[in-house]
Structure 1
């Protein structure tokens, strides 16, 4: 069997088995993300740093908009302050970049309309971003008023909420493809 016919038969098998196709594409995208991130983006650090600073500033702005005395530290702009006291540090592992990649990878791995992908992925990433801004603001409030629950909420509550939101967004992507 030639290489071309082997590729064609493999491609035909993947189209006949959409679940396996999704799992294979999702796994390949995950490996590409890990390699690209660990050996490129993470080493450079500028994208992570800019996103963390932006999230801290936007979360502090949201808190100010709702009447709280919030800001960021001038010397460490990733620290959200409440009443001039450090409340939350937006670290690069918690800035949501991995969640954006996870969501986009799921949508790209599942069959669907390419034009719909062009607006669905940015809309989903924007939703995850806004959820992260809200998460940081709530953690700042949590630290200020109920500090003894911050660790639990950071590690469990908001992890559940973030991955739950990604699952709901992905389900919204899958639903039209399933009913078509």
Structure 2
């Protein structure tokens, strides 16, 4: 469950702008570096994301291919056969994570304590929620021109994850991906 929550957190961190402020479609590339205590080099993955009015599609392309879809407050994984499978237990984290990734500080105040961050343009969030505080020491969100450019998830065991975003121009989806999910 903890790994799934960590996976969902890292995947959901791509929804960075509210639909009211931006064109309905946002797309880009991401890189994710997972640092483990005791190892000198991080585990690196990368891929692409597409956010439209109906869903977020997060597709890891390296080192392995994996696709996660978030639609209607639910989390789905696409299996090797192209079937979309609901991931039970993930729904409670969707609204919290959307607030984190959209940098909605008002929505986060009841669940996090904010602390000063030494890096300009960044916010340091300390979880109040018991489950989150068991998993993470803090979240660092760095924003430039309304876009979350980097997120750092700090764990208690000295492991941490850094996700960086590179946005491309808004795009139109080429297929009706996951349109059969209600």
Q: TM-score, normalised by structure 2?
A: 0.26
Q: TM-score, normalised by structure 1?
A: 0.26
More helix by share: 1
